[in-house]
Every structure is written in structure tokens, then in C-alpha cells.
Amino acid sequence: MTDCHRIDVHHHILPPNYVDIVGDDRIGPLILAGKTPEWTPQMSIEAMDRNGIQTALTSISAPGLWFGDTQETVDLCRHCNEYAA
């Protein structure tokens, strides 16, 4: 059997400024543990390595990016996209 190339198609990231801008009070209650998880790119890579994952398609976790203000959303989306790039 050949080695397969595993792809994680549901891989959440939490850019640092996203947490600062959105706030723990908005993120934490939506997470199973009830608090904003610690996250770093290194932790993410280590988890991928442990599980034999070579590629991840990333997205922002709950509560997302829309909070009722168009310009705030544009700025937050740009920040998150540039961070992920």
C-alpha cells in the first residue's frame, strides 16, 4: 500500500488579533470547553504531524466574522486572510 496524502478539510485557526478584536466573551461560550482555546501555528502543525496530515484547508472558528458592521467585517476578514497567507 502506498502512503496516502491526508488532507484536513475542516481545520480551524485563531489568528491572534482575531481573538483580541472579537473577544473571549464572544468566542468562549461557543466552544465545547467554554473558553477560547490556546492556538498557535506550531500547535497546529504538531497536531497535523501526530495525525499524519500533510495539508489543511483552514477556516475561522465560531463565532465567525460578521458582527453587524460592514467595515469591521471587511477589516477583520482582511486581517485573517493576510495572517493565514
pLDDT digits (tens, 9 = 90+) for 68-78: 899 999 999 99
Domain ranges of the chain: 6-84
Q: Which three cell numbers stand for residue 51?
A: 495525525
CA 69 – CA 29 distance, rounded (Å): 21
Half-sphere exposure of 81 (CA within 13 A, CB side): 7
pLDDT digits (tens, 9 = 90+) for 13-53: 999 888 888 888 888 777 767 778 888 999 999 999 999 99
Question: Which pTM was predicted?
Answer: 0.76
